[in-house]
Every structure is written in structure tokens, then in C-alpha cells.
């Protein structure tokens, strides 16, 4: 209920009571209790009204004003399908939104006149939160760590299997893997051996990884990049 109406209602009772007091129809103790009651009631309603107003603004997490929160006299209205309805008084705009069983949302408060759109505000807020979650998910994916494993063209079976297990764990966690082989001395004459090691490594993690970069020789170093499977 509007605070003005509440105060007005209390005011009528207050005037009626004061008339009775003026006519000497009430004991002093009752008069004091009545006056105290009026004061407590008015203070409560004022504080309650202020609390509800603040709560309404706080619940609007997107910072958008909607419906009766919009104070502009005239607004440029955009329909629910994106069509431009035109400049309307705020009352006409609210009526239009009400007939459509939707909300009037203030999108551009600094425009002249301010721009409002007729929409389902709860649906808009849900879709926005969904997009924000998806963006955060992509951001986390882009922030995945790059783990490097150094191999050798003549790596022994035990070392190969250990590094394979560790790399698999990182891939399943969402991290990227960089495989590196550095050729020494005469090994440069047989770089195909290093390529075979890298390709064999990649073939063992096909269930959880895709090849982002095939074996590439740069100077004396050959590298390969593996990334987690997209469909995992």
C-alpha cells in the first residue's frame, strides 16, 4: 500500500481522536497510549516503505529500471519483436506493456527521450545470466594451463609410459600438452625417429586428446601440441 495513503488513513483517525481528546472524553493515560501508538505506526510505515523501495532496487541485479521504477515523462518504446512503436507517455507505455502481459524495461536512460523495450524481464534476465555463465566457461577453458613434456628420440619404455600417464591426467583435467624433443649431435640426421615418438605418443591419447599442432621441427627442437577433446 502507498505510504501516502497509509499516512492519510492514520491522519483521519488521528484527527478523529484529537476531537475526542479536545472534548475531554478520554482519560490522560489512554490519550498518551494513543499518541504513542500513532507515532510508532507512522514510523513503521515510513521505514517499511523505504525498505521495500530499496529492496526492489537491490533485486534488480542488472541495474535496469522496470515498470513503475521508470520516472521519465515520455519514452521511446520498442515493441517485443524489436519494432519501433514511437514516443509515448510513461503511462501509455506502461499500459501497452500491461496489455501484452510483459514488462517495460528502460534500456537507454541517457537518450532523449529515454529508450524502453516491452519484454519479459525475467526471461531477459535468465538469458543474460545464461550467456554470462557460458562466457565464464569459455574464459576458464582459455585459461587452461600448458603442460610441457620432454621426450627423446631414444626414450625408454618405462619413461615413455610414465609421461603418457601423467599427460593423460592433465588432458582429462582440461590442460593442453606440449611435447618437446631436442636433438643432440648426430640425432639431427635422424629427426624422423623423434617424429615417430611424438606420433606414437599422440596415438595413445586419442580417446582424450586432439592434435592441435602436428610435429614441427624448429632448429634442433621438434614440438607437438595436444588439446583436450572438444566433445569430452
* Same fold yes or no, 67-124 and 144-228: no
C-alpha dihedral over 160, 161, 164, 166, to 10 degrees?
Answer: -110
If one looks up domain 144-228 in CATH, what number appears? 3.30.110.10
Residue 6: its pLDDT value, please? Answer: 43
Task: Give the integer Cα–Cα distance in Å for 221 and 179.
Answer: 10
207 forms beta bridges with: none
Task: Give the integer Cα–Cα distance in Å for 170 and 109.
Answer: 49
- Give the tens place of pLDDT for each residue, 25-42: 555 555 555 555 655 555
Residue 228: all three cell numbers together: 583436450
Residue 136: its pLDDT value, please? Answer: 81
Task: Give the integer Cα–Cα distance in Å for 81 and 120.
Answer: 11
Cα angle 163-166-171, degrees, rounded to a multiple of 5: 120
Fold for the domain defined by 67-124: Ubiquitin-like (UB roll) (3.10.20)
**What is the pLDDT averaged over residues 206-211?**
92
Banded pLDDT at 135 (limits 50, 70, 90): confident
Task: Give the integer Cα–Cα distance in Å for 97 and 126.
Answer: 19
In this structure, are strands 74-78 and 84-89 parallel, antiparallel, or unpaired? antiparallel
Banded pLDDT at 134 (limits 50, 70, 90): confident
pTM over 0.75: no
- Give the tens place of pLDDT for each residue, 66-106: 999 999 999 999 999 989 999 999 999 999 999 999 999 99
Task: Give the integer Cα–Cα distance in Å for 85 and 68.
Answer: 19
Residue 232: its pLDDT value, please? Answer: 47
| Domain residue extents for the chain | 3-58, 67-124, 144-228
Amino acid at each position: 500500500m502507498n505510504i501516502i495513503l497509509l499516512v492519510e488513513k492514520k491522519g483521519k483517525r488521528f484527527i478523529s481522536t484529537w476531537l475526542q481528546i479536545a472534548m475531554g472524553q478520554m482519560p490522560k493515560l489512554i490519550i498518551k497510549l494513543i499518541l504513542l501508538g500513532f507515532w510508532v505506526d507512522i514510523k513503521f510505515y515510513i521505514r517499511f516503505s523505504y525498505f521495500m523501495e530499496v529492496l526492489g532496487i537491490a533485486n534488480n541485479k542488472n541495474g535496469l529500471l522496470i515498470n513503475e521504477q521508470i520516472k521519465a515523462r515520455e519514452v521511446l518504446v520498442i515493441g517485443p519483436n524489436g519494432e519501433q512503436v514511437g514516443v509515448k507517455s510513461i503511462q501509455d507505455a506502461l499500459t501497452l506493456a500491461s496489455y501484452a502481459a510483459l514488462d517495460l524495461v528502460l534500456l537507454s536512460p541517457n537518450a532523449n527521450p529515454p529508450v524502453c523495450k516491452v519484454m519479459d524481464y525475467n526471461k531477459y534476465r535468465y538469458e543474460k545470466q545464461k550467456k554470462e555463465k557460458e562466457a565464464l566457461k569459455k574464459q576458464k577453458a582459455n585459461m587452461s594451463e600448458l603442460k610441457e613434456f620432454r621426450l627423446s628420440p631414444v626414450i625408454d619404455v618405462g619413461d615413455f609410459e610414465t609421461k603418457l600417464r601423467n599427460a593423460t591426467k592433465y588432458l582429462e583435467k582440461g590442460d593442453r600438452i606440449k611435447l618437446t624433443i631436442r636433438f643432440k649431435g648426430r640425432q639431427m640426421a635422424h629427426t624422423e625417429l623423434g617424429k615417430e615418438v611424438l606420433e606414437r605418443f599422440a596415438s595413445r591419447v586419442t580417446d582424450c586428446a586432439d592434435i592441435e599442432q602436428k610435429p614441427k621441427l624448429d632448429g634442433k627442437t621438434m614440438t607437438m601440441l595436444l588439446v583436450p577433446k572438444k566433445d569430452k
